Structure 1
Amino acid sequence: MNRHVQDEVHAHSLRDPESFWSHQADQLHWHKKPSRALKLYKRTLSDGTSYQSYSWFPNGEISTSFNCVDRHVNAGNADAIAIIWDSPVTGATEKITYGQLLEEIEVLAGVLRESDVKKGDVVLIYMPMIPAALYAMLAVSRLGAIHTVVFGGFASASLAQRIDGSKPKAIMTASCGIEGSKGPLSYKTLVEGALKRSDYKPKCVMIWQRSQMPWAPLNEEAGERDWQKLVQSAKRRDIKAEAVPVRSNDGLYIIYTSGTTGQPKGVLREAGGHAVGLNLSIRLLFGIRSSDVMFCASDIGWVGKCTSEDLFSNGSADSEMLLVGHSYILYSPLLAGATTVLFEGKPIGTPDASAFWRIVAEHKVNTLFTAPTALRAIKRDDPKNKFLEDAGRRGGLKQLRALFLAGERSEPSLVRMYQSLLETFCAPNAQVIDNWWSSESGSPITGLELEAQAGKDFHSRGTSKALPTKPGAAGKAMPGFDVRIVNDDGKEVSNGTMGNIVLGIPLAPTGFTTLFNDEERFYKGYMKRFEGKWIDTGDAGVIDEDGFLSIMARTDDIINVAAHRFSTGAIEQAITSHASVTEACCVSIPDDLKGHLPFAFVTLSTTNHPNSAIPDEKLYKEVQALIRDQIGAIAALGGMIQGKGMIPRTRSGKTLRRVLRELVENAVHGDFEKEVQVPATVEDAAVIGVARSKIKEYFEGMGGKHKAIEARAKL
């Protein structure tokens, strides 16, 4: 069988990374051009442990801000549209050219410089989906500083963790977010609450005042400043900042992800590799050029947002989806000189399930990128796809070339349905493309390339056709990512066999090389399990005979809720903060909209433990309130069982969450007696029987009314 050009490009990237990535680096502006693409070396920890590491374009100097904006203005494209802000929650739409964008970020960078922000400093950005948020990211980058973006609406406790972890010189925020029909959400109480909780106190808090809910009064003694007034003052004084180049291996941003201990990990993205890798991926995978429009239905504070209906609830989830928001709302479309759509709204409810298709039609979107959960929400409200078909019949979708999905496993039925709709109403050869990546990878690890030939000839277009979609699979490996399946001993398994998904070293240039100020945690969390030979992704899957990867499950105890990953440890910590709960175990339960929900087993501290498996309503609501306060609303439980002696553990004390998860999933299907695999290391096998009986009592006591049972009944 002849190899597809995607296979040839991938093979070249692994066989000769020096020539492959040097060619890609040549497409960008370097203040100091690197003399080589890749350097391999050993990194040594304080305890003497050494492991293979690497750096991309090690002696180059670059400015991401310059490449995203100045480069296009200097090329005569100042009047091209850079950003379309579409905000149905405020009724506003705004188009911002590259020339206007340059003016905004030059001045804002000057304001930050006057606030003592300089090269290498960290600035925390806690913003809603408004143009000022993008200005902030580019202005911070312009100074050679490092930004860390936190989703606007995070609970104060989660925000405080990130303040203490990153120690920002300044915080850039807004007076409120807009929650659709719920109205404005004040950021004042969330930010001030976080600053009270945090040990580190930044000197400056810049506030973008929104008319819907101003931040008042400003506490100037605490460093609170009016963002707009600072910018107006700088413009009057002609204060601007030129782009400051940084070394290729200097940090561009930190993105915090959930950790299995409940403490978020700071993934550090390096400037040079990030720019080169994204500049290729936006053309290669997404097929975007300077004349195109990209709509990434995500949030800059997630490495992407699953736009489900309750995402903007107070204290939204301490979780992560993908680096979608950073990479494909802001950086890669602007690196390509294309137009990006910044959407302040939801897939449903603003005003209805037509929102995405209206945007695609109105703004002539060529590529739409979202999460399966968003499509499930749309399908639930519009089961016959009336809104999509109406837009298609009017010709509004004819320029849409692809629908990209990521963040969670896409069920084959969903992929097939949308593939059929795209073939009927969209551009010729329009395709649904699932892809897989993580905060750590910085760009898709697998996918199907719309313009695979771009990997050979960067400026070519339309010379190759993407591989056909396989519903349920996340595509094939992208350039620079050496994807393998290994058993628990680190040995590769044959095609078609499920195992641990690992990545060879080095990762593609967008990938991380360490964690922010925590090399030891990087090694222990990603390298140690397979003795430095592979990077452990924490996912399990299978590669078929054609090289397509399917993601099957997490290999750790992270729960994937609507494309957001939650640490079971963090949820359990919130539950056990209730005075009546002595221990808790959290697992996942199937949900037809969000994929999975957290489900808890709890033991109460009372001497007279209730006999019923179903907790009283007061306790359940109090536990939910604690989760909302400490983690976020989207982490709310899908159910809770109470009982004594029902949480199985190994002899070493490790909680056997997998066993409880299997029991719950069997119960959802009405099979309470199905055997589950119990490891030989279990401390007391009789506990499994107790758990089984409690689960049966709970679901039978719910009378078939539990959400998961209702969902299965519909199938």
Structure 2
Amino acid sequence: MEVYHDFYKRSIENPADFWKAQTQKIAWKKFPETILSHHNNYPQWFADGKLNMSYLCIDKHIEEGYGEEIAVIYDSPVTNRKRNITFNELYSEVARLAGGLKKLGVQKGDTVLIYMPMIPQAVFSMLACARLGVTHTVVFGGFAPNELAVRINDCKPKVILTASSGVEVDRILPYKPFVDQAIEIAEHKPEHVILFKRLLGAIVPDKEYDIDYKSLVAASSEAEPVIVEANHPLYVLHTSGTTGKPKGIVRDTGGYATALKFSMEYIYNVKPGEVFWAASDVGWVVGHSFIVYGPLLNRNTSVLFEGKPIKTPDASAFWRIISEHNVKSVFAAPTAIRAIRKEDPEAKLMSGYDVSCLNYFFLAGERSDTATVAWLNQKINRPVIDHWWQTESGWPMASIMTKVDDANIKYGSVAKPVCGFNIQIVDEEGNQLPDNKEGFVVVKLPLPPGTLMGIWNNEERFFSGYLEQIDGFYFTGDGGFKDADAYIYITGRVDDVINVAGHRLSTAEMEEVISSHNTVTECAVFGIHDEIKGQTPLALIVTKAGNDIAESVIEQEIITKIRSSIGAIATLKRVIVVDRLPKTRSGKILRKLLRDMADKKKYTIPSTIDDPEIISEILHVYKQHKI
């Protein structure tokens, strides 16, 4: 593994040379020399000794005369508030908050935990930490106190930044009470909790460690950016704890800045000054890379949306945001589009908005079924690009690079490797597989700039989980295949592959077929225990609003479709209609939980679940159908 360390050391010490070496190795696309030259210029931002992410995102643009351009649009239909924040205003908020943290003794080498809803103060907090060279760890608001305590113990923050509460369509979320409970549970105790009070009616008892956010900022002077090394840890971001103890992914500064600047220009194809919207949460990697750092590095206006794709107030929310804010490129999860499609199958609510400003719509975070992509493409009449990456990569690994490549979309595919990522499909021994043969999706080392530096305080887990599975490769944990045109198809996590009578079957492939049925808006396929065959697939489906076809008819049509498309080997014999599927608050379907419940195994309801009540609903359905 020393070889890997040497590769990474070179990538972060001199991103320019490393970047050129990587882009020249790309087999599927020979980029023009002018583009290679452009790549090499990215690290010149900090050639003058000003490597600080907050400086690059704010101060640099102000110095170049763009201080009055809008940096962030805060749009909160759940509180009926909107705010346009210029780079000058962003500078004042961030620099003074950084000054407040500095006054509390927070300095380079410390960690700070951020647990906030989708409000401007969450962005200010991230950038204030970066300004001081302080490593931040943002925890998604969906995590309950126990999970929050795990992350407190792992990162040992000197300070926690939080808000009194968050708000959703029909409920108040108790952020500060959760923080208090987590601190009580945790072994590590932070010195202070900086509390941003929101007037939402939440009861928040005072604690001795509390410091009022607004008072601290008002009484603090502006802090200058602290210069850091290229490999300085900008943040630690924990992967979801639904499959075990969360892993703290460590991200560097210099290589990450290089990769994000490149992504905004060559993948998302937005020019400085244009509006970009990543419909995600700052608690996830998408929020870090493409709500906060990526757009601001590229001098884009970033939309910070505190709302949902539906019920805020209805399924027109996305179209309103795009139209009202002149959004050029959108990034969202397929779950959001499926929700919109279910509520408004004919997209009638879109008719009240002009979305012609939009150039591209990107999907990622989970598999994008063909039916959803085709529906969205038809309704907006713009390229809908499914692309693929991970918390670990920090930026897209496979996509259509829209600035240099025609948007030649193949439904079901995440397109081709982004330059810097040598993606291969291999078997368990690391042997490359032929076209259309499913295997492990891996990336040949070395990884390009911006990818994970390691696992926080757990180097052994870093090597065993990512680098030792298949020698010479980064192990993504995903399965998939390439076609004859080198387009990549991700079929799901490796543990989503089921074994029926010795045959490996992709549940994702079955979901693709089921989603094409004209009554289905969402589905989940997973393997349940079978005494004879080991496992057999079970499909749970959600049908479109207004559907009046009998469940037995839908079931038989889907079974016939599966047999026709995949073959009898798929052995799908049960299709059950449910009102909704259990998901994390980020929109991922909890397939393992569904499988464990069906197999009557001991299961834990993850803290990330959107609505725990759905578990009772699913158990009732299982009982009705004798699962």
Aligned residues: 528
**Are 1:543 and 2:521 counterparts?**
no
Aligned partner of 2:416 in structure 1 is 476
Give 1:169's match in structure 2, choosing from 148, 158, 170. Answer: 158
Give 2:402's match in structure 1, choosing from 439, 446, 450. Answer: 450
Aligned partner of 2:335 in structure 1 is 373
Q: Relative to 1, partners in 2 of residues 1:204 and 1:176: Cα closer, same or farther, differing over 3 Å? A: same
**Are 1:400 and 2:358 counterparts?**
yes
CA distance in structure 1 between the aligned counterparts of 2:155 and 2:242, rounded to whole angstroms: 19
Aligned partner of 2:41 in structure 1 is 26
CA distance in structure 1 between the aligned counterparts of 2:40 and 2:159, rounded to whole angstroms: 32
Once the two structures are superposed, residues 525-544 of structure 1 have per-residue CA deviations (whole angstroms, 9 ceiling, x without a partner) of 1111113x111100000111
Q: Secondary structure at the match of 2:78?
A: coil
Give 2:24's match in structure 1, choosing from 12, 37, 46. Answer: 12
Whether the aligned pair in 1 keeps the contact of 2:23 and 2:36 (CA below 8 Å) is no
CA distance in structure 2 between the aligned counterparts of 1:614 and 1:500, rounded to whole angstroms: 27
Q: Secondary structure at the match of 1:288?
A: coil
Cα shift at 1:291: 2.3
Bigger Rg over Cα: 1
Q: Relative to 1, partners in 2 of residues 1:631 and 1:153: Cα closer, same or farther, differing over 3 Å? A: closer
Aligned partner of 2:371 in structure 1 is 413
CA distance in structure 1 between the aligned counterparts of 2:286 and 2:540, rounded to whole angstroms: 25
Cα shift at 1:556: 3.1
Once the two structures are superposed, residues 320-360 of structure 1 have per-residue CA deviations (whole angstroms, 9 ceiling, x without a partner) of xxx21111111111011010000000000111101010010
Once the two structures are superposed, residues 525-568 of structure 1 have per-residue CA deviations (whole angstroms, 9 ceiling, x without a partner) of 1111113x11110000011111110101211369999xxxxxx9
**Are 1:116 and 2:105 counterparts?**
yes
Once the two structures are superposed, residues 129-181 of structure 1 have per-residue CA deviations (whole angstroms, 9 ceiling, x without a partner) of 00010000000000001110001231001100100011011100000001122
Aligned partner of 1:650 in structure 2 is none
Amino acid at match of 1:205: V
Cα shift at 1:26: 2.4
**Are 1:510 and 2:496 counterparts?**
no
Cα shift at 1:588: 8.6
Cα shift at 1:703: 4.6
Q: Relative to 1, partners in 2 of residues 1:519 and 1:354: Cα closer, same or farther, differing over 3 Å? A: same
Aligned partner of 1:665 in structure 2 is none
CA distance in structure 1 between the aligned counterparts of 2:430 and 2:493, rounded to whole angstroms: 17
Once the two structures are superposed, residues 53-108 of structure 1 have per-residue CA deviations (whole angstroms, 9 ceiling, x without a partner) of xxxxxxx8711111100010000000100000000000000000001101111101
Summarize the alignment of residues 169-568 of structure 1 with structure 2, pairs less than 5 Å apart. Answer: 169-182=158-171, 184-213=172-201, 216-220=204-208, 223-234=209-220, 239-258=221-240, 262-302=244-284, 323-391=285-353, 396-423=354-381, 430-452=382-404, 466-531=406-471, 533-556=472-495
Q: Secondary structure at the match of 1:281?
A: helix
CA distance in structure 1 between the aligned counterparts of 2:335 and 2:106, rounded to whole angstroms: 39
Q: Secondary structure at the match of 1:353?
A: coil
Q: Relative to 1, partners in 2 of residues 1:634 and 1:61: Cα closer, same or farther, differing over 3 Å? A: farther
Amino acid at match of 1:240: E
CA distance in structure 1 between the aligned counterparts of 2:25 and 2:297, rounded to whole angstroms: 21
Aligned partner of 1:658 in structure 2 is none
Cα shift at 1:474: 0.6
Once the two structures are superposed, residues 184-206 of structure 1 have per-residue CA deviations (whole angstroms, 9 ceiling, x without a partner) of 22212211111111100010100
Q: Relative to 1, partners in 2 of residues 1:699 and 1:186: Cα closer, same or farther, differing over 3 Å? A: closer
Aligned partner of 1:62 in structure 2 is 51
Q: Secondary structure at the match of 2:320?
A: helix
CA distance in structure 1 between the aligned counterparts of 2:236 and 2:358, rounded to whole angstroms: 33
Amino acid at match of 2:624: M
CA distance in structure 2 between the aligned counterparts of 1:542 and 1:489, rounded to whole angstroms: 16
Q: Relative to 1, partners in 2 of residues 1:502 and 1:703: Cα closer, same or farther, differing over 3 Å? A: closer
**Are 1:599 and 2:577 counterparts?**
no
**Are 1:100 and 2:89 counterparts?**
yes
Cα shift at 1:13: 5.5
Cα shift at 1:633: 4.0
Cα shift at 1:591: 4.3
Aligned partner of 2:9 in structure 1 is none
Aligned partner of 1:606 in structure 2 is none
Whether the aligned pair in 2 keeps the contact of 1:86 and 1:94 (CA below 8 Å) is yes
Whether the aligned pair in 1 keeps the contact of 2:239 and 2:249 (CA below 8 Å) is yes
Amino acid at match of 1:301: G
CA distance in structure 2 between the aligned counterparts of 1:445 and 1:31, rounded to whole angstroms: 25
Cα shift at 1:414: 1.3
Aligned partner of 1:702 in structure 2 is 624
Q: Secondary structure at the match of 1:85?
A: strand
CA distance in structure 1 between the aligned counterparts of 2:394 and 2:494, rounded to whole angstroms: 20
Q: Secondary structure at the match of 1:100?
A: helix
**Are 1:83 and 2:82 counterparts?**
no
CA distance in structure 1 between the aligned counterparts of 2:21 and 2:411, rounded to whole angstroms: 23
Q: Relative to 1, partners in 2 of residues 1:240 and 1:596: Cα closer, same or farther, differing over 3 Å? A: closer
TM-score (norm. length: structure 2): 0.78
Q: Secondary structure at the match of 1:529?
A: coil
Cα shift at 1:636: 7.1
CA distance in structure 2 between the aligned counterparts of 1:345 and 1:233, rounded to whole angstroms: 32
Q: Relative to 1, partners in 2 of residues 1:588 and 1:80: Cα closer, same or farther, differing over 3 Å? A: farther
Amino acid at match of 2:491: M
Amino acid at match of 2:364: A
CA distance in structure 1 between the aligned counterparts of 2:34 and 2:250, rounded to whole angstroms: 26
Q: Secondary structure at the match of 1:536?
A: strand
Aligned partner of 1:126 in structure 2 is 115
CA distance in structure 2 between the aligned counterparts of 1:210 and 1:419, rounded to whole angstroms: 39
Q: Which runs of 5+ in 1 are unaligned?
A: 1-7, 34-59, 303-322, 424-429, 453-464, 562-567, 569-584, 603-612, 643-697, 707-715
Cα shift at 1:284: 0.4
CA distance in structure 1 between the aligned counterparts of 2:470 and 2:599, rounded to whole angstroms: 42
Q: Secondary structure at the match of 2:469?
A: helix
Whether the aligned pair in 1 keeps the contact of 2:73 and 2:302 (CA below 8 Å) is yes
| Percentage of matched positions with identical amino acids | 39
Once the two structures are superposed, residues 494-540 of structure 1 have per-residue CA deviations (whole angstroms, 9 ceiling, x without a partner) of 11111000001121211113111111110011111113x11110000
Q: Relative to 1, partners in 2 of residues 1:596 and 1:471: Cα closer, same or farther, differing over 3 Å? A: farther
Root-mean-square deviation (CA, aligned residues, Å) is 3.3
Q: Relative to 1, partners in 2 of residues 1:173 and 1:596: Cα closer, same or farther, differing over 3 Å? A: closer
CA distance in structure 1 between the aligned counterparts of 2:622 and 2:126, rounded to whole angstroms: 52
CA distance in structure 2 between the aligned counterparts of 1:149 and 1:525, rounded to whole angstroms: 23
CA distance in structure 2 between the aligned counterparts of 1:11 and 1:480, rounded to whole angstroms: 6
CA distance in structure 1 between the aligned counterparts of 2:475 and 2:25, rounded to whole angstroms: 21
Whether the aligned pair in 2 keeps the contact of 1:406 and 1:434 (CA below 8 Å) is yes
Amino acid at match of 2:395: S
Whether the aligned pair in 1 keeps the contact of 2:177 and 2:204 (CA below 8 Å) is no
Once the two structures are superposed, residues 365-421 of structure 1 have per-residue CA deviations (whole angstroms, 9 ceiling, x without a partner) of 111110110011111111111112332xxxx11110011000111111111121122
CA distance in structure 2 between the aligned counterparts of 1:700 and 1:439, rounded to whole angstroms: 34
Q: Relative to 1, partners in 2 of residues 1:289 and 1:380: Cα closer, same or farther, differing over 3 Å? A: same
Amino acid at match of 2:55: F
Aligned partner of 1:140 in structure 2 is 129
CA distance in structure 2 between the aligned counterparts of 1:229 and 1:215, rounded to whole angstroms: 19
TM-score (norm. length: structure 1): 0.69
